Amino acid sequence: MKTSLHSKTSLLTPESSTEAISSKMKDVNPEVGSLQPRKRKGNTVSKATQNEKSVLESSNAQAPTKEKHKGLESVPIFTLITTYLSYLILILFAHIRDRMGKLFYPGQYALLRESDGYAPLISDFESLWIRRLYTRISDAFNRPITGVAGGHVTLLERTSKDHNKTFELTGKKTEVLNLASYNYLGFAQNTGYCADQVELSIKNLGLSHCASRAQGAQTKMILETEKLISEYLDVEDSILISMGYATNSSVIPLLVDKGCLIISDELNHSSLVSGSRLSGATITVFKHNDPSDLERVLRRYISEGQPRTHRPWRKILVVIEGLYSMEGEIGDLAGIVALKDKYKFYIFLDEAHSIGAMGKHGRGVCEFLGVDHKKVDMLMGTFTKSFGAVGGYIAGKKDLIDYLRLKSYSSVYGEVMPIPVMEQVASSLRLIMDIVPEHKGEGPKRIKQLEENSSYFMRKLREMGFLILGDQGSPVVPLLLFNPGKIPAFSHECLKRNIAVVVVSYPATPIITGRVRFCISASHTREDLDYALEQIDEIGDLLGLKLLK
């Protein structure tokens, strides 16, 4: 190990003094801090619709525009060509190896062939990518850990004797700096107020109800937690659902069905996509984060009506995210809300990553962008990220929420949220809302710390000349790697230097823009970040990643 990471206490452990460190930070970096929503620069929106009545142009909404990243235009042609070429070679070799393999070792491919009248369960073509490309780098994924995934995390070392087909634990453990978990506010903890509360709840109430909410497991605790969420988000009512994924996939089918239209951002999360599919509504997409394209789609679909019958749509639901976690990009909520009055659609906003992590009080993108959250019909979020729990919520009007309590698939067929998890939600929420007298100021401190950490980290990386996606204020910082060879290499280099990172490549991203994604947490200290930056700087030189230099 290069530095002794063990010795560093996290900012948020009780014994460390937060004030001291953050004041120190101000010395180092005076300009860190105020994060104002960016103002809209007049001419950027609405080019697709050449209609003078376009709401976007006539409205005075303070839509923050997407500051065009000093982005893909500035990527050297050389990088683009080599990236495509590398993939080409990889695929070519994959095919050749597959051909050879089938010829010489047919036994190994039995699963992919029709045999004895059974079709293969895994299709040959589909799995080529996995067998030949993913497996090569699969040691960068599914890395097992133990303990808390906090600012630092303990990895269980594993080795593979058969080229990543299987892994074995060696029994060795390494503590590494964690730039991978969605622990934005640092609530992944086994000590402190939340853990104490959770312990109490286990002792007093038990663990789980072994039943669904609609059939006998609606507890006073759920209702109280929901009340807390509603208060926090300043909405009429909210419903707690035991899983974030299911919050999307099991609620959307209740909102829209046949004869309705879903307009979905093209980069929406899988849970939103599967919810949309299950609903039976007509689905269409608009260009990622582009309100003018949304307007074009709306105009076209409203004027055409339903396919074939041309009856008017029953409802239109626009499904978007607050913070796109692969891009680190903040949704253009203001631009979309500005269209709402005219086109009368409903908005489903997924704040999985932004709730808690963004805005002055952690109330998500609405607060961050200064958009009236009452304009959003369904505010959805998860407790998996910032709150250190699991599960999700939907917030909105009372009649909507009551309907979901009665009918959402999760209420009727799913398990109710386990008691310790619910207590983690409630207690972390109380800290964020700053209503625990003994821990006054802890929640806001975390929010501020996260904001400082992420903008510091992003700014430093940009200064080093890396190609960084993501908007200012996002706790997710993606760094573009391009060449497929660099993707595992970056992960390995980081691991060598005791840093855990997440790398993502095609098919999760466009083929060209493989990336590493850093998730910044409030529990990272300035030393943690500086250490990481120093190491990433070195790796950047080693792998030739500083494309803007």
Partner 1 sequence: MRFQDRLFFISKSSLATVLISALPVLGSSDAGNHSENAKTHGFFSYGARFVVRYVKASYRDDPFRTFLELCLVLFIVWYVSKQKYKFNQVDLKLSEKDIEELIKEWKPEPIVPLMTTHEKEVFDNFPVIDSPTGTVLKLDNGKSVINFVSHDFLGLMNNANAKEKAVNTLRKYGVGPCGPPGFYGTLDVHMELEALISSFLKADATILYSQAMSVCVSVIPCFSKRGDIIVADDQVNFMLQQGILLSRSRVYWYKHNDMEDLKKVLEKIDQVESKKKGPIPRKFIVAEGLSMSTGNILKLDKIMELKKQFKYRLILDESLAIGAIGPRGAGTTDLFGISVKDVEILIGSLCLAFGGSGGFCCSSKQLIGHQRLSGAGYVFSAAMPAIMAITAADGIRRLETDSYALLNLLRRNIATLRSQLGRIKDIVIEGDIRSPQMHIRLTESAYKKCISSNLNSSNEQTWENEDHVLLNIVSHMRDNGILVSQCVYVKEHEHNIPRPSIRVLVSCTHTQQQLEKLSQSLEEAIKAIAK
d(CA 348, CA 380): 7
Tell me: does residue 329 bind ligand PLP (CB under 6 A). no
Stretch that binds partner 1, among 61-69, 88-96, 147-155, 361-369 (CB under 8 A): 147-155
Work out which of 67, 399, 538, 541 binds partner 1, going by CB under 8 A.
399
Contacts to partner 1 from residues 201-260, by CB under 8 A: 202-220, 223, 242-246, 249-250, 253-255
How near is the Cβ of 537 to partner 1 at its closest, in Å? 23
Burial 193-223 (b: 16+ CB within 10 A, else e): bbbebbeebeeeeeeebeebbbeebbbebbe
Residue that the structure tokens 């105020």 belong to: 34
Give the binding-site size for partner 1 (rule: CB under 8 A): 128
> CA torsion 291→293→296→298, rounded to 10°?
-60
Residue 469 touches which of partner 1, ligand PLP, none (Cβ within 5-8 Å per kind) = none
**Distance between CA atoms of 28 and 32, rounded to whole angstroms?**
9
269 binds ligand PLP, rule: CB under 6 A: yes
Contact partner at residue 321 from partner 1, ligand PLP, none, CB < 5 to 8 Å by partner kind: ligand PLP
Q: Could you say whether residue 243 binds ligand PLP (CB under 6 A)?
A: yes
Copy the structure tokens of residue 441: 């100021």
- Nearest residue to ligand PLP, by Cβ distance, number only: 244
d(CA 248, CA 392): 9
Asked if 182 touches partner 1 (CB under 8 A), the answer is yes
Query: What six digits make up the tokens of 20?
Result: 């001291």
Orientation of helix 419-433 relative to helix 192-205, angle to 10°:
140
Residue 195 contacts which entry, ligand PLP, partner 1, none (Cβ below 5-8 A, type-dependent): partner 1
* Complex with ligand PLP: residue 295 or 350, whichever CB lies closer: 350
Q: How far apart are the first and last CA of the chain?
A: 30
Count of beta carbons in the 10 Å neighbourhood of residue 27? 7
Using CB under 8 A as the criterion, what x/- string covers residues 418-447 for binding partner 1?
A: xxxx--x-----------------------
**Is residue 427 involved in binding ligand PLP (CB under 6 A)?**
no
Query: Quick check: 382 binds ligand PLP (CB under 6 A)?
Result: yes
Residue from 87, 187, 232, 245 binding ligand PLP (CB under 6 A): 245
Q: Of 31-39, 80-88, 145-153, 431-439, which segment contacts partner 1 by CB under 8 A?
A: 145-153
Residue among 33, 71, 307, 544 that touches partner 1 (CB under 8 A): 307
The C-alpha atoms of residue 475 and residue 478 are separated, in whole angstroms, by 10
Binding to partner 1 in span 105-124, by CB under 8 A: 111, 114, 116-123
Sign of torsion over alpha carbons 210, 214, 216, 221: positive
Instruction: Tell me the C-alpha distance between 547 and 185, whole Å.
Output: 31
Instruction: State how far the alpha carbon of 89 is from the alpha carbons of 97, 133, 263, 401, 491, in Å.
Output: 12, 11, 37, 53, 22
**Residues near ligand PLP, by CB under 6 A:** 243-245, 248, 269, 271, 321, 325, 350, 352-353, 382, 384, 390, 392
